[in-house]
Amino acid sequence: MKRSKHAMSDAGRKKSLEVIVDNSGKGDSGQKPSDAPDFSNPEFFENRELSYLKFNLRVLSQARNLRHPLLERLMFLLIFSSNLDEFFEIRVSGLKKQLDFGRQRPGADGKYPDEILKLVHEQVRGALTEQYRILNEELFPSMAKENIHFLPRNQWGPELIAWTKNYFHEEVWPIVSPLGLDPAHPFPRLVNKSLNFILSLEGKDAFGRDSGLAIVPAPRSLPRLIKIPKEVIPNGDNFIFLSSIIHAYVDEFFPGMTVTECHQFRVTRNSDLEMSNVEVEDVASALRGELHSRRFGAATRLEVGKECPSELTNFLLERFNLSRHELYPLEGPVNLRRLMALTNMLDRPDLLFPKFSPGTPKALELGNYIFAAVDKEDQLLLHPYQSFIPIIDWVRQAAKDPTVLSIKQTLYRTNESSELVEALADAARNGKEVTVVIELRARFDEEENINFASLLQEAGAVVVYGVMGYKTHAKMLLFVRRVGNKLKRYAHLGTGNYHRKNSLLYTDYSLLTAEPSLCDDVHKVFQQITGMGKKIHPNLLIHAPFNLRKSLLKMIDQETQAALAGKSARIIGKMNALTDPEVIRELYRASAAGVQIDLIIRGVCCLRPGIPQVSENIRVTSVIGRFLEHSRVYYFENNTYPVFCSSADWMERNLTNRIEVCFPILKKKLANRIVEELQMYLDDTAQSWELQSNGEFIELATAGGDQEPVQMRLLKQLDPLKLG
């Protein structure tokens, strides 16, 4: 695959990176342009929403990727649906709100919300057409060849008809409440993303009503996908959608009347919770009220079956206060994400990624005393290739260790039956001073976090909810332990959440350290969150919202000045998203000065590389694969400590409205290891995409290419014996 003419060659970048590790090389002198362009030019910026859609298209493309096992391809298709749901619930609803309140403001790209919404609807419509084409023309036929069948009503034989009718009467009929529409029965308040049917009826009911319309909500308590027993169809794995069963027997809800039309639909609503800082005395209580309202927020999208006639779609659009641009007719089920249950209903490991067991460094293996291992040297883990269990074990050991006096931890997301929460509760019951900062506003995990807070409080832990107006997104764990006559601190700092299940799917770094200055900084940040006082000044830690943006800009400028002075200058950034205009402008200045910049960005990127005199020294790639690239790593060649890991992306919200931490990797051996792993990403052509100056991504994989994907290489490198 031909790369951008502005991109540095692989060989050139690899040589440069080797120089970086030594921190002793000299680069070509960079000349400051005499007529430097306006780095704020809207043409130099990509729109955030449109960039996100391009990311989600890269996810969808994995459903076509024959390198992936068949059921994994289906999962990528369903992840696309899940991502799109959240996009409409949060991002589209935010744009609509700006229109509703007359607060249209252009972003750095110069586009106004009404223009963005128009482009969003156009692009989503095309993406959905492609999604259902992949499902109907590629995945369903491929699964049929594997003897996995999804049976539409026109393929039901007599035995299956009898079985589905019995299922309807035994499971569906007792639960469903059909809703006739008339003045006494106004249009119901339907829950966000729930599956429903709209019906046209002929005839009069027992009360003489003949409104002609009804709604049938599909029961949320029943599975959307139903497996047919072997005694009904012996061969293969056979499935029916709940929507097919309801559709087949829907007339039984309306005896004596004729159902002339029956079509499924689903409405997506605004799900962004809003809590004013004013007059909120108890954030947990306020949030409980907001959680209920989320289910019934303003509509942002209406999905219907493709055959639904215009008179019914117009009726629904009117009821949901939506325009025709917000209507999405679909060539198949309207609630695809519920298909995610399929993999647990099949025993087909041959159609899934090979299982693997994350590796564990010898010093952190089960039974070893983790405090002793960290006393000896800092420990660095890269999940999911290396296990998250040592962090859980560390808390468990601390809960029982009489020398441990105090534990402090931040929790943003954690798994539903969290071993960490239970270990913290045990520590509190054992008399440790346990303080937990729980972010109740972690989107879509709010209710679970409220429950964890109650559990910890009952055990005797001190629970705080961070700082109003600032989400606590930092990933920190601090132990205070008595060693001899002195107190000693230990810390875990990470780029990802304390979520064991996610640690098997997300790539993230974990640092376990006893370095006194770094641990003292972590202690200061905890004190700032839980207490009150003036701005703190950590020695090594960089934290938002106070000095992270300022420090990033300073380190970028440091590379710029080095390049202008004729020194080697290099920046590498790996993150989920880059949207902050001020950071982007500073990267443009660095590029124009000759700094070589590599950005590995999974999702949204508002920077445009390859623009002459602006960003021709910037290369942006995106890795999409089995694991969700989630680690945030920054590299600045000329900084005292070149390698940083962080909880923060380079986004306005992370740098301005969140409590984040960015920590240096102090040990050269560990810093060099991270640089080597970054180089593997930069060299990858098997699962990478490269961003062009026009804002489009080009897939680097070539037909017949034999390079092994970077994620597979890391799996083998970090634990080659446990893959199988």
Structural tokens at position 50: 């449109």
Query: Distances in Å between the alpha carbon of 162 and those of 165, 166, 167, 224, 259?
Result: 5, 6, 9, 19, 21
Query: Distances in Å between the alpha carbon of 362 and those of 358, 368, 401, 451, 503?
Result: 13, 9, 21, 36, 19
473 noted as active-site residue: yes
Angstrom distance (rounded) from CA 33 to CA 380: 42
| Alpha carbons within 13 A on the beta-carbon side of 122 | 7
Which of 622, 627, 624 shows the shortest CA–CA distance to 609? 622
Which residues are paired to 619 by β-bridges?
598
Backbone angles phi, psi at 566, to 5 degrees: 85, 15
Which of 605, 629, 609, 631 shows the shortest CA–CA distance to 618? 609
| Alpha carbons within 13 A on the beta-carbon side of 13 | 24
From 473, 492, 523, 630, the catalytic residue: 473
Structural tokens at position 700: 């680097």
CB 6 within 8 A of CB 693: yes
Angstrom distance (rounded) from CA 138 to CA 65: 11
Query: Distances in Å between the alpha carbon of 378 and those of 294, 375, 381, 524?
Result: 44, 8, 10, 20
Element (H or E) spanning 200, and its range?
strand 196-202
How far is it between the farthest Cα atoms of the chain?
Answer: 90
Residue with tokens 């590995």: 600
Which residues are paired to 599 by β-bridges?
573, 620
Per DSSP (E only), the strands in 219-273 are 225-227, 237-241, 258-269
Which of 197, 333, 321, 340 shows the shortest CA–CA distance to 269? 321
Structural tokens at position 36: 């430097």
Which of 240, 211, 237 shows the shortest CA–CA distance to 223? 240
Report the catalytic residues.
473
